[in-house]
Amino acid sequence: MAGFTRRRAFLLGVVLVVGAWFLLPAMCREPLTPEDRVRAAIIAVADAVGEPDLVAALAPFSRSYLDADGGDFATIRAVLFRELRSRGGITVHLGPMEVEVDGDAAEARFVALLLDGIDVGALDLRANNADTWHFTLQLALEDDDAWRIVSHQRRGVEPQDVFE
């Protein structure tokens, strides 16, 4: 009978240590600011494109997405589908992100380096294609309390951008 209580005490101790390992950092962390939540939505797109996971890449986009060129959510879905099917995962490196939040609207500006054709498993670290874009995204806080991308503009990074 004594072995049974030792075993129970040991298992209880392990559960407490493992629980503390995962719960304490979360409990001590400050709540995310709106700016952090905007950054997290953008990073989620970059991570999903690298997987490639179309559903996860589309999750941070609003169903009411509409950009200045007339592109809507269906356009974004079609472009991502085509690119992920033809290229596979796209490695995305995000530069420093400037985020401004004004109530239920936010704007994020950053530079992104997009690389495809990198195969880390085969130790092939050369990209087949590389593009660098300056993005400006507009986001809105939607009814489910999630920041979603409602529009964007992009332009290629020019040499003079590097030396500003």
Averages of pLDDT over runs of 10 residues in the chain (164 residues) are: 69 76 67 91 94 94 95 95 85 92 96 74 58 93 93 87 65
Looking at the fold, whether 25 and 47 belong to one and the same domain comes out as: no
For residues 55 and 85, membership in a common domain is answered with yes
From residue 39, how far is each of 84, 129, 149 by CA, in Å? Answer: 22, 26, 11
Would the pTM count as exceeding 0.85? no
Task: Report whether 95 contacts 162 (CB < 8 A).
Answer: no
* pLDDT of 11: 77
Q: Are residues 40 and 16 in the same domain?
A: no
Quick one: 22 and 46 in the same domain? no
Residues 151 and 114 in one domain: yes
Structural domain of residue 1, as residue ranges? 1-30
- CATH code for position 87: 3.10.450.50
Count structural domains, the chain: 2
51 in the same domain as 94:
yes
